[in-house]
Amino acid sequence: MRTRIVAPPKRRRVSVGGVVVDRLTEIEVVDRVIGAIRRGSGGHLVTPNVDICRACARDPALRALVLRASIAVADGMPLVWASRLLGKPVPARITGADLIWSLSEAAAFYRVPIYLLGGPPGVGDRAARALCERYPGLSIAGVDAPPWGFEEDAEQFAAVRDALTSARPLLVFVGLGFPKQDLLIERLRGDLPETWFVGCGSAIAFAGGAVARAPVWMRDRGLEWLFRLLSEPSRLARRYLVDDLPFAVRLLTVCAVRRLFT
């Protein structure tokens, strides 16, 4: 994948689901991230989905966290559908699980070293091997799967930060779940101002084969949540059925009503 290195264009954005997302294609996201890296400018990419929007609706601090990100893309078909109802369509759903591949492809071409932070023990190493097998020449600056709660322990956090800063990657995938991963990114960005951090959720686990992704036809139809629910019902039933589904229905209803009266 060849990216165009140009000056950063004006942002085209839409407010949806209580957050603001950029109206970009995946290729445009890759162009902006790699272009910024080549200009020596770091950043933070966040991928709001329905669950993140619901959290932001309850907590203004989390909403501000998403707003501060350099790029925010819609990881959820309800957000894409809602943007269309509002007349400011987001081109497509863009997930961390997709970006870990497309950004790594561009990173291999431009010799941008990457770092994988998060995922269960051993999964990051498998993800790194999978990425390198698909994109020969990709430089893996490091892999780290810190223990649960490390960010609240000063010594463990320092060890994670020191390993990362010593590796000096220019692109870091942080797969710890929202808001943990994005709060951590804000703490680390000052140490690596020329580095881009991508809050990627389960992307490292997907790339490492620890978690199966839905078939493409389900992803395209906004049914990836159903696949994951059927795969992990005990863990995800409350999140998807009790919390997220009613929020998504309300979101689409409100946007449809606005469309009717504007």
- Each residue's pLDDT tens digit, 4-32: 555 556 778 999 988 999 999 999 999 99
Q: Are residues 198 and 243 in the same domain?
A: no
Residue 255 has, within 13 A of its CA and on its CB side, a CA count of: 23
Report how far residue 76's alpha carbon sits from residue 258's, in angstroms, rounded to the nearest whole number: 20
At residue 40's C-alpha, the angle toward residues 7 and 181, to 5°, is 105
Q: Are residues 68 and 177 in the same domain?
A: yes
At residue 33's C-alpha, the angle toward residues 31 and 35, to 5°, is 60
103 within domain boundaries: yes
Report how far residue 26's alpha carbon sits from residue 55's, in angstroms, rounded to the nearest whole number: 25
- Each residue's pLDDT tens digit, 64-103: 999 999 999 999 999 999 999 999 999 999 999 999 999 9
Q: Are residues 87 and 35 in the same domain?
A: yes
Count Cβ atoms within 10 A of the Cβ of residue 107 and give its class: 0-12 exposed, 13-18 middle, 19 or more buried. Answer: buried
* Beta carbons of 43 and 71 less than 8 angstroms apart: yes
Q: Are residues 242 and 194 in the same domain?
A: no
Q: Are residues 94 and 169 in the same domain?
A: yes
DSSP state of 243: I
- Each residue's pLDDT tens digit, 155-180: 999 999 999 999 999 999 999 999 99
38 within domain boundaries: yes
DSSP element (H, E) containing 44: strand 43-46
Q: Are residues 84 and 146 in the same domain?
A: yes
45 within domain boundaries: yes
pLDDT band with cut points at 50, 70 and 90 for residue 139: very high
Tell me which residue has tokens 């990627």.
200
Instruction: Give percent of the chain with pLDDT exceeding 70.
Output: 96
Please say if the pLDDT value at position 203 is more than 60: yes
84 within domain boundaries: yes
> In the structure encoding, which two tokens stand for residue 103, read together?
């950004």
Q: Are residues 41 and 165 in the same domain?
A: yes
Please say if the pLDDT value at position 214 is more than 70: yes
**Residue 258: per-residue pLDDT:** 86
* Beta carbons of 93 and 80 less than 8 angstroms apart: yes
5 within domain boundaries: no
180 within domain boundaries: yes
Q: How many domains does the chain divide into? A: 2
pLDDT band with cut points at 50, 70 and 90 for residue 220: confident
Q: Are residues 200 and 229 in the same domain?
A: no
Give me the domain span that covers residue 227. Answer: 219-260
pLDDT band with cut points at 50, 70 and 90 for residue 2: low
Q: Are residues 157 and 242 in the same domain?
A: no
Q: Are residues 54 and 77 in the same domain?
A: yes
129: how many CB neighbours lie within 10 A of its CB? Answer: 15
Report the interhelical angle of 77-85 vs 245-260 (nearest 10°): 10
